[in-house]
Structure formats: C-alpha cells, structure tokens
Amino acid sequence: MLIKNISALIGSELEFISRTSIKIQNDKFKRIRPQIVSNANDKSVDCEGLLAIPGFINAHTHIGDSIGKDVTIDSSVDKRIHPVFGIKSKILKNTSKTHLANFMTNTCHSMLRKGITTFIDFREGGLEGVILLKKALSDVPLRSIILGRIDFYQNSREIRDNVPFAKEKIKDLATLLKQCDGIGVSGANENSSSVLNYYSKISKIRAIHSSETKQSVLKSKKVMGVSETIRALSLKPHFLIHMTHASKADLEVVATKTRGIVICPRANSALAEGIPDIELMQKTGCVLAIGTDNVMINSPDMFREMDFIWKATMGIHKKRLDPKDILKMATVNGGKILNKNIGVIETGKIADCIFLDKHALDLEPMHNPHASIVHRASESAIRAIMIGGKIVHGKL
C-alpha cells in the first residue's frame, strides 16, 4: 500500500511532518519520504486532510472484569479489587464463562474503535482465564500481550517466613506460560521473596503491580521492613505498574533496573488514591507508558487518559507537561517497555497507526498537533485504524 499526501507524526520524537508519503509492505513501514513513485502492484491512496499517528498501546488492562462496570463504586481499593477477597474476584468466580467472554469481546471492540492497536492484559484465573481471553479475541483484529497469573497468594506470616513456591503449582505455572506472553503478578505483598525469586527465572515478560496505594506501601514496611518497590524488584520485572506512592529512592532504582513504569492515573483517581508524580518519575529517568487498568472502574480510552494526565497533573502540581511527552507515553514508550517494534511510524517498524481527520470539528484548526491529540481528539475524529499494515476499522 502507498499512502500519499498525508500528515504524520514520525519517529520516536513524534516529529510533525505536514506532507509525506508512506509505503507499507509485509506489515511494516517500508519507506517514508515526500515523494514515492508507485508501481503497478501498489494500492495507492490519497490521504489529503488526514493525520497518521502511531497506534495506541494500552499498557495495562484487566478486561476480565468488563462485566462489573461501576459495581461498588464507593468501596475501598481492597474491597473492590483485592485478588483474594475483593468483590472483583467474587464476580469473576460467580459469572458464567460465556458472559465473561462476551463482555471481554465488547471491551476489545471498544478499544479498537478508540485507536488502541495493542493492549497488555494482566489476566487472572490461571490457564482457564488466559484461554477465555483468547476466545474473546478470536474475532477481534487487536494485538494482545497476555500476562497470565496462577491463583497463588500468600499471607503475611508466609511472607515473613519466606515460604517457597508451592510444589503443586509448578506444573500449573509451566502449562500457563505455554499459553501466554509472560506473567503479571498481583504484588509483592501477596508473595514471599522466595516466590518472587522463583518467578524471576521466567524467560518471558515479567511485570508486577507496585506502590499503588498508601496502605500497600505501609504494609510492606510493616511486614518486611523494606519498600514494596524494592521487594517487587526481586521479580526482576521488565516493568512495574502504578508506582503512585513510590519514593524518589524507589524511582531511581527502578530507572536503572527496569524498562519502565506503566502509570494508570484515571484508575488511581477513581480509587481515591491520587495520581503518580510524573515530574519526579521523569527527573529520575523512568520511561513512562500509560494503561487504563480495570474496566470495572475505568473506560479503556487512551484519549481520555491523556487528557486527564495533562490537566490533572498541571492542576495539582501547577507545572506544565509537554503534550508530546504524554503522547509518547501512549505510543512510543509502550513499544519500549515491551521491547517490540511497535508504537512508532518509522521505517522497519510494524505498521500500526491511527488516521485522524484534521478537519474534524474538535480539531480544526490544528495549531499544535500534539496538544490537539492529547486534549481535544476523541474516537469521533478517527477515520481508520491500521494494524500490521491492514485497515481493521474504518476506511481510507
């Protein structure tokens, strides 16, 4: 395919190019320059009036709870989403698999229409949960990174005594990992150091929630006498989730020991936990990506996530964030933490992109493309979605 006369955000710095051509071949961006001569085999499309941006990478979701939207909205964090006794776990156990799969599929379609081309899901429910998500995705052309989890959680006494990983669960874990892309651990406060060290040997993607709430931070210090984040690093995670209440010292270590942090500000705010200190995270050198977290408490919408981050952060800290940095969190940086060739419109990268109508009522005139996308764009401005070089939603 040859796309002509299009505006685009190019490269890892999302440089705005007002007019260029993009050749796509074998699911990748083959060539990007102002003039490309088409050959007889190319399907040529004139995209005057459109802006191509990288497809969004929703770097942290829990779409299994799509059936529980806004249930117990006034409850505490633990009462809602704790992996052992939270209402979420009860809903998932007591709902038929058919119903769960149907609502998960709905969420996948919703994400696709909102420009999300890849999502990373922390999937509960062991092997059955992973298979259920794959079933929900069977007819949705959305790229998924599934991080599975076995139902194994330890109490404070077991953590203090450093009880090792249960032998009867070893086979379950090995079987699970054959069906998914890695492991998504609930947190250090549900696992002994021995268990976290066991998980650290997994060769696939490793990620873990950390320092999401004040209570979880305090619990780690009370039970083990050390920071929750330092304990989470025993997993040797590729990336951490949340870090809403992480200290500067924690962030400095994370910047050197991991690929980055996935922040979920709207979900944290919906749970009355505040928002992460993005400025401090940036100063300490952390790579930041964005996730929308639980569908139970938050819509899977990256446009809304970016808009919230920009305005809430400035409103609270009274310091401006560069909208380009936020857009990088939703695209480029997701590719970095996954170490995959996605999230960038660049020669050799996988051809995932969103085609926005520059003349959409909310966008025109577009004086600052990065700002317009971050706090004005929405699903209504999307003309088409491309994943792996194929138009999967809308049309050009």
Last residue in a domain, options 338, 366, 382: 338
3-state percent breakdown (helix, strand, coil) of the chain, nearest 5: 40, 25, 35
Q: Are residues 295 and 354 in the same domain?
A: no
Distance of alpha carbon 61 from its chain centroid, rounded? 6
CATH code for the domain in which residue 382 is found? 2.30.40.10
- The CA–CA distances, whole Å, from 92 to 30, 83, 209, 266 equal 44, 11, 20, 23
At 68 the pLDDT is 77
Q: CATH number for the domain including 115?
A: 3.20.20.140
Q: What is the pLDDT of residue 320?
A: 86
Residues 49 and 82 reside in one and the same domain: no
d(CA 5, CA 17): 10
The phi and psi torsions of 2 (rounded to 5 degrees) equal -120, 120
Measured in whole angstroms, how far is the alpha carbon of residue 196 from the centre of its chain?
22
Total tally of structural domains belonging to the chain: 2
Q: Which residue has the tokens 């060769």?
A: 203
* Per-residue CA distances from 347 to 32, 55, 354 (Å): 7, 15, 17
115 and 16 within one domain: no
**273 and 258 in a common domain:** yes
Same-domain status, 50 and 93: no
**Looking at the structure, do residues 16 and 164 belong to the same domain, yes or no?**
no
Q: Are residues 8 and 144 in the same domain?
A: no
Q: What are the b/e assignments for 342-359, b being 16+ CB within 10 Å?
A: bbbbbeebbbbbbbbbbe
Q: Which residue has the tokens 């899977």?
A: 300
Domain that holds residue 237: 56-338
Nearest to 86 by CA among 153, 158, 160: 153
Question: CA-CA distance, 41 to 2, in Å (whole number)?
Answer: 10
pTM: predicted TM-score of the whole model, two decimal places: 0.94
Asked whether residue 174 falls in the same domain as residue 119, the answer is: yes
Please check whether residues 317 and 358 belong to one and the same domain: no
Select from 338, 360, 382 the last residue of a domain. Answer: 338
pLDDT per 10-residue tile (average), the chain, 396 residues = 96 98 96 87 92 98 86 59 58 73 94 98 94 95 97 95 95 97 97 98 98 96 97 98 98 98 96 93 98 94 98 89 97 98 98 98 96 97 98 96
Domain boundary (338, 359, 374) is at 338
290 and 377 assigned to the same domain:
no
The answer on 249 and 212 residing in a single domain is: yes
Predicted pLDDT at 40: 74
**Are residues 177 and 65 part of one domain?**
yes
